[in-house]
Amino acid sequence: MKARILAVPLAAALLAVSGCSIARNALYAPRTEPIAIAEWTKAQPERLSVSTRDGLILEGFYWPPARADDRDIFIFFHGRGAHQGVGAKYAQYLAAGGDAILVASYRGFGGNPGHPSREGLLTDATAFVAKARQLAGPDARLWFVGHSLGAAVALQAACTDGHAAGVIAISAFSDIREAAPPLLRSFLPDQWDNRRTAHCVTAPLLILQGAEDRIVAPSSAAVLLKSSGGPATAIAIANWAHKPVMQTMGPWVAEAIEALAKGEGTPLPPLPEHWAIEGVHRP
């Protein structure tokens, strides 16, 4: 108990001395090592880079579509404590339908220059959205996919872009304060309120949440469903924790976007075992 009492003034003192840098490093926990992509993927993607509007060059990964006339492209945003290699490890399973996949990255992660912040991550996301549209063409359907913190980035990027075909939010918190390390919650330098952002998104939204998640409260899915500004479906996955089993989820999502693209009234593909629809929202 004494150590816990001392931790709060110590954290305040650290913030006073070093500004927000310590808090942001704790919040985003960037993995900084350069990426050896062969260690993370089975079929290696292409390396590419994007330029942000504030002059940073960031590395991403890209799998081209199986067909030249394919209009769909996934943009995958990884979460806290990860990097674009982890993102590629997850995103590779979205390729089941032959669609293009672009793995985004952020400043300060995976050998990229800069330091992470909310403003910085959203600037980086804007650059990758522009790259996706450049790669897939003017008639492209952009599907924003994010895990954990990456779901917050995906939601805000889709809101800002205004032309998303849909958003797939995996293990998404409703508010960053609920998922941040407990000692950091009183000192958060950046706020991520997914309730407000979900209301801004009018494209179809899929919320996929593990029932055994100990980082993001499973009840967050219902909160986001209620907050959504467009058609939304929340799916609860029994026995899954915070990290998704993308070998199962990826192929299902690749099939689900075809239903979403056809509009309301088109049923989603059959759910895998232990998946259940928790709720549906129609604006």
More confident residue, 15 or 213: 213
What would the mean pLDDT of 184-189 be, rounded to a whole number?
82
Strand partners, 76: 103, 145
Q: What is the pLDDT of residue 12?
A: 45
Distance CA 32, CA 81 (A): 9
- Looking at the chain, how many residues does it have? 283
Number of domains the chain contains: 1
Q: What is the pLDDT of residue 212?
A: 97
pLDDT per residue over 22-74, tens digit each? Answer: 889 889 999 998 899 999 999 999 999 999 999 999 999 999 999 999 999 99
Q: What is the pLDDT of residue 185?
A: 79
Distance CA 249, CA 244 (A): 7
Are 175 and 195 in contact by the 8 Å Cβ rule? The answer is: yes
What would the mean pLDDT of 213-241 be, rounded to a whole number?
97
* Mean pLDDT over each residue of the chain, to the nearest integer: 92
Quick check: pTM over 0.85? yes
Q: What is the pLDDT of residue 263?
A: 87
CATH number at residue 10: 3.40.50.1820
What would the mean pLDDT of 160-189 be, rounded to a whole number?
91
Q: What is the pLDDT of residue 6?
A: 35
Tell me what percent of the residues of the chain surpass a pLDDT of 90.
83
What would the mean pLDDT of 109-129 be, rounded to a whole number?
97
Tell me: pLDDT of 225 over 60: yes
Are 163 and 139 in contact by the 8 Å Cβ rule? The answer is: no
What would the mean pLDDT of 213-236 be, rounded to a whole number?
97
More confident residue, 271 or 18: 271
**DSSP secondary structure string for all residues of 202-259:** -S-EEEEEETT-SSS-TTHHHHHHHH-SS-EEEEEETT--SS--HHHHHHHHHHHHHH
Least confident of 114-118, 184-188, 199-203, 211-215: 184-188
- Label each residue of 10-41 as H, E or C: HHHHHHHHHCCHHHHHHHHCCCCCCCCHHHCC
Q: What is the pLDDT of residue 17?
A: 39
Tell me: pLDDT of 247 over 50: yes
In the block, which residue shows the tokens 């800069």?
114
Distance CA 117, CA 4 (A): 27
Range of the domain at 34: 2-281
β-pairing, 46-51 vs 205-210, is unpaired
Q: What is the pLDDT of residue 19?
A: 52
Q: How confident is the model at residue 135 (pLDDT cuts 50, 70, 90)?
A: very high
pLDDT per residue over 169-181, tens digit each? Answer: 999 999 998 887 7
